[in-house]
Structure 1
Amino acid sequence: MKIQHRESERHVLAVTVDNEAGILAKIAGLFTARGYNIDSLTVADISEDHALSRITVVTNGPPPVIDQIMAQLERLVPVHKVVDLTEAGPHVERELALIKVVGTGEHRVEALRLADVFRARPVDTTTTSFIFELTGPPDKIDSFIALMREIGLVEVGRTGIVGMMRGPEGA
């Protein structure tokens, strides 16, 4: 019998935790201790009384390793729920980016044209630069950034990925 080794896969994990000091360090430490990188990390307060936060972690690893990470996350005391959105089914992922582009003349016109195609919104403008706001899936943002590199990309700021299951049930 031949054993198949599955390649590293991208996973989006939604972790609901008590909103308390040190929990983010514990979660990051769990990944660090196992030698796994966190590609994206976002945290948001999700309850009216500020008691709960949702941490969205994007990482890469083979399924058995992701399963192990999830099991260890679930054992942390302030963790209420861990969902692998990638495995759980259809979900929506979004990210926000601010992209600064410098240029004049044709470069400026081209930057505005591409921004329109990607539905990037200029949130700041000078006679020689733009800062565009772009929201969407990470691959859309990556594509826009790659095109802006050719025009005059100066700086990029990204929020990190947030994700949510489609349909009426929550993750």
Structure 2
Amino acid sequence: MSPLKLKKGASSHSAYDLKSGYGDGIEQHTLAVIVENEPGVLARVVGLFSGRGYNIESLTVAEIDHTGHRSRITIVTSGTPQIIEQIKLQLGRIVTVHQVHDLTVEGPTVERELALFKVAGQGDSRIEAIRLADIFRANVVDSTLESFVFEITGTPEKIDAFADLMRPLGLQEVARTGVAALARGADSLV
């Protein structure tokens, strides 16, 4: 009987400890899924994720073709490369799914998110909140004597950074749309 050929870092105590060729690192991917615009499609897509224990970090859905009755679901998810491949294959098997694109691996993309922030404060806190909003190019869309509502658009990292700075100044509430993403260049998914 020949000995097992173990990869570096693997233990010789158990076959369960063997390293896969996919790597074990968790990666974040943005998927664009073109689907039929009909009742129950979103439930089937979300059911695939929940039924297998996959996480959805961001989800946006909108109709993109009125005459063709198609919608685009943009999903940000994370997992090992093997899990991401499983997600893409299983999404492709859903009857109402026309296309599945992994924007993360297909090339450069533009990703943006819209968020609304309610910040309550008085005196210096209000002045500092407006100063920071100006730096982040956030717009004041509502104002009272006790609070502001800021609108900000940008990458998820920019939104997170703005939230971190607003917390000590009286951040009360946040509403985020989720990531909208498009591949750069002239090519189109539809």
Query: 1:83 and 1:69 mapped to 2: Cα distance?
Result: 11
Other structure's SS at 2:117 match: strand
**From 149, 154, 163, the counterpart of 1:131:** 149
TM, length-normalised to structure 1: 0.97
Post-superposition Cα deviations, 1:42-84, rounded to whole Å, max 9, x if no partner, equal: 0011013260000001111011111111011111111110001
Residue identity in the other structure for 2:163: I
Q: Which residue of 1 aligns with 2:69?
A: 51
TM, length-normalised to structure 2: 0.87
Other structure's SS at 1:46 match: strand
**From 81, 87, 112, the counterpart of 1:94:** 112
Query: 2:36 and 2:162 mapped to 1: Cα distance?
Result: 36
Other structure's SS at 2:65 match: coil
**From 87, 93, 97, the counterpart of 1:79:** 97
Q: Which residue of 2 aligns with 1:23?
A: 41
Higher mean alpha-carbon deviation, 109-118 vs 50-59, is at 50-59
Cα offset, 1:128, TM superposition: 1.4
What root-mean-square deviation, in Å, do the aligned CA atoms of Structure 1 and Structure 2 show? 1.0
Residue identity in the other structure for 1:77: V
Match status 1:149 vs 2:170: no
Q: Which residue of 1 aligns with 2:85?
A: 67
Other structure's SS at 2:99 match: strand
**From 121, 139, 143, the counterpart of 2:139:** 121
Post-superposition Cα deviations, 1:80-116, rounded to whole Å, max 9, x if no partner, equal: 1000111111001100000000011100000000000
Following TM superposition, the consecutive aligned residue runs of length 4 or more in structure 1 with deviations greater than 4 angstroms are none
Query: 2:68 and 2:115 mapped to 1: Cα distance?
Result: 26
Query: 1:80 and 1:136 mapped to 2: Cα distance?
Result: 29
Residues 79 and 154 of structure 1: is their aligned pair in 2 closer, same or farther, counting only changes over 3 Å? Answer: same
Query: 1:27 and 1:64 mapped to 2: Cα distance?
Result: 19
Other structure's SS at 2:145 match: coil
Other structure's SS at 2:115 match: strand
Q: Percent same amino acid among aligned pairs?
A: 56
Post-superposition Cα deviations, 1:128-156, rounded to whole Å, max 9, x if no partner, equal: 11000000000000000000001000000
Query: 1:63 and 1:151 mapped to 2: Cα distance?
Result: 40
Give aligned pairs, total. Answer: 171
| Unaligned segments of structure 1, at least 5 residues | none
Query: 1:89 and 1:76 mapped to 2: Cα distance?
Result: 25
Post-superposition Cα deviations, 1:9-66, rounded to whole Å, max 9, x if no partner, equal: 1010000000010000100111111111111110011013260000001111011111
Higher relative contact order, chain-length normalized (CA < 8 Å, sep 6+) = 1
